[in-house]
């Protein structure tokens, strides 16, 4: 194997400089072109915000994805979810499955902070819609989680409602990746995991994905089609442990799809996940959710329902490809943009970029349509 670079210490540059310096070394997954940012926010109207806590044993945070900039409770978006492996504690999926709609931002955080973020979402909705739970229906919060307890002292319950509010206030189209927001304390393949995002364009539409990567055994790792995990495991002398991580996979598109079709898109996120070496292990909570920004559904029953011509099912294959490729790309990005982190009890996760020599990254998936990463 050609991977011979020695371990290095954590990168102390700013997150933005850190990402710009690494962007040019990434392989481009698949043949479809990416959007301008190569991010979920290439789907018009979508924005992402982070709040990051990095203080000794506290290594955690909150990430929020907004499908649009309006009142999500009043103007809901179509959505659907797929549970690839259900070892998870997310909130809000039952109603999404029944109604096929989102009515809050999508929040990501650590396992023990779900209840806090749920309360913050409820208060946020009441503030914007004072009759929520009175003359208006109750709101369905949507909060996903992964367990960051290896690096983060999860028992401190450090996340507050204000951290959710800060993540919302920080939402923008430029999406930071790696060890930020909910990804701060996450581990993936025994390395530093976190937030990753990507996009692909096809058939006149855009598909964007965002992942919270906290899964995988190191020996299973496949990077852009090349099996690197066994070699890295030997170098790091890591003890093999049962799969007990998770990954949240979010898919956005501007294609006009209904909830049934969006569920089909969400399922294809599992294709991109499997390409990286995941087998959806017993202890892994692997959950995908897809939503469309092509139209909204009013909360007010007196408002007219949208009259939208849906994309024909026979024309979904390119979107399926876009989901698979952008999901794999987002996972690669999460690993590559992460910085090494030391957390509780001296636990450390090395960044993938500190272990691999960048001139020799797998390049056989690179395609001429790759756009420069703007992060």
Which pair of tokens denotes residue 329?
Answer: 């790309």
Set 284, 292, 326, 340: catalytic member: 284
pLDDT at 281 (0 to 100) = 86
Angstrom distance (rounded) from CA 75 to CA 70: 7
What is the predicted pLDDT for the residue at 81? 98
Q: How far apart are the first and last CA of the chain?
A: 31
Spell out, as residue ranges, where the chain has pLDDT lower than 50: 1-13, 359-360, 364, 366-375
Selected catalytic residue, list 42, 153, 254, 286: 286
pLDDT at 361: 60
Q: Which pLDDT value is given to residue 356?
A: 83
The verdict on whether 42 is a catalytic residue reads no
31 is in which domain, residue-wise? Answer: 15-300+309-352
The Cα–Cα gap between 163 and 62 comes to: 7
Q: 212 with 178: CB under 8 angstroms?
A: no
Give which of 364, 363, 350, 238 is closest to 5, Cα–Cα.
350
Would the CA dihedral through 152, 156, 157, 161 be positive or negative?
A: negative
> Would residue 322 count as lying in a domain?
yes
3 assigned to some structural domain: no
The pLDDT value recorded for residue 139 is: 98
Domain assignment of residue 367, yes or no: no
Assigned domain for 296 exists:
yes
Instruction: Mark whether 284 is an active-site residue.
Output: yes
246 a catalytic residue = yes
State the pLDDT at residue 357.
63
Whether 5 contacts 341, CB under 8 Å:
no
pLDDT tens readout for residues 217-272: 999 999 999 999 988 988 887 777 777 789 999 999 999 999 999 999 999 999 99
Tell me whether residue 203 is in a domain.
yes
Residue 9 inside a domain? The answer is no
CB burial of residue 251 (10 Å; 0-12, 13-18, 19+): buried
236 by Cβ neighbours in 10 Å (0-12 / 13-18 / 19+) ranks as middle
Q: What was the pLDDT predicted at 18?
A: 55
Total domains in the fold of the chain = 1
Locate 179 and state its tokens. 């060890």
The active-site residue, picked from 246, 278, 292, 326, is 246
* Residue 191 is assigned to a structural domain of this protein: yes
In a domain, 375, yes or no: no
* pLDDT value of position 235: 85
CATH of the domain at 317: 3.60.70.12
220 contacts 275 by C-beta, under 8 angstroms: no
This prediction's pTM: 0.91
pLDDT of the residue at 245: 85
pLDDT at 375: 33
């Amino acid at each position: 194997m050609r991977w011979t670079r020695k371990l290095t210490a954590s990168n102390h540059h700013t997150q933005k400089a850190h990402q710009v310096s690494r962007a040019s070394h990434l392989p481009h997954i698949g043949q479809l072109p990416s959007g301008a940012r190569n991010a979920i926010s290439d789907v018009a109207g979508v924005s992402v915000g982070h709040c990051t806590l990095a203080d000794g044993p506290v290594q955690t945070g909150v990430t929020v994805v907004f499908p649009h900039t309006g009142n999500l409770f009043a103007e809901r978006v179509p959505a659907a979810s797929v549970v690839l492996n259900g070892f998870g504690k997310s909130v809000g999926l039952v109603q999404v499955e029944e109604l096929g709609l989102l009515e809050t931002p999508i929040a990501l955080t650590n396992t023990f902070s779900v209840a806090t973020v749920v309360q913050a979402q409820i208060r946020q909705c009441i503030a914007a819609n004072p009759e929520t739970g009175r003359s208006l229906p109750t709101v369905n919060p949507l909060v996903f989680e992964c367990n960051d307890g290896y690096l983060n002292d999860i028992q401190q319950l450090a996340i507050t409602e204000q951290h959710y509010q800060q993540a919302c206030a920080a939402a923008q189209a430029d999406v930071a990746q790696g060890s930020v927001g909910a990804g701060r304390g996450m581990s993936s393949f025994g390395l530093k995991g976190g937030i990753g995002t990507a996009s692909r364009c096809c058939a006149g539409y855009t598909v964007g994905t965002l992942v919270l990567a906290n899964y995988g055994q190191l020996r299973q790792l496949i990077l852009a089609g090349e099996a690197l995990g066994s070699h890295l495991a030997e170098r790091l002398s890591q003890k093999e442990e049962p799969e007990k991580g998770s990954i949240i996979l979010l898919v956005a598109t501007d294609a006009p799809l209904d909830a049934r079709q969006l569920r089909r898109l969400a399922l294809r996120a599992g294709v991109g996940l499997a390409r990286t070496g995941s087998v959806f292990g017993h202890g892994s909570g692997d959950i995908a959710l897809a939503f469309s920004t092509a139209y909204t559904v009013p909360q007010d029953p007196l408002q007219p329902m949208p009259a939208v011509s849906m994309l024909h099912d026979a024309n979904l294959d390119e979107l399926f490809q876009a989901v698979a490729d952008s999901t794999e790309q987002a996972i690669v990005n999460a690993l590559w943009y992460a910085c090494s982190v030391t957390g509780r009890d001296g636990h450390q996760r090395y960044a993938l970029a500190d272990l691999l020599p960048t001139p020799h990254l797998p390049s056989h998936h690179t395609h001429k349509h790759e756009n420069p990463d703007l992060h």
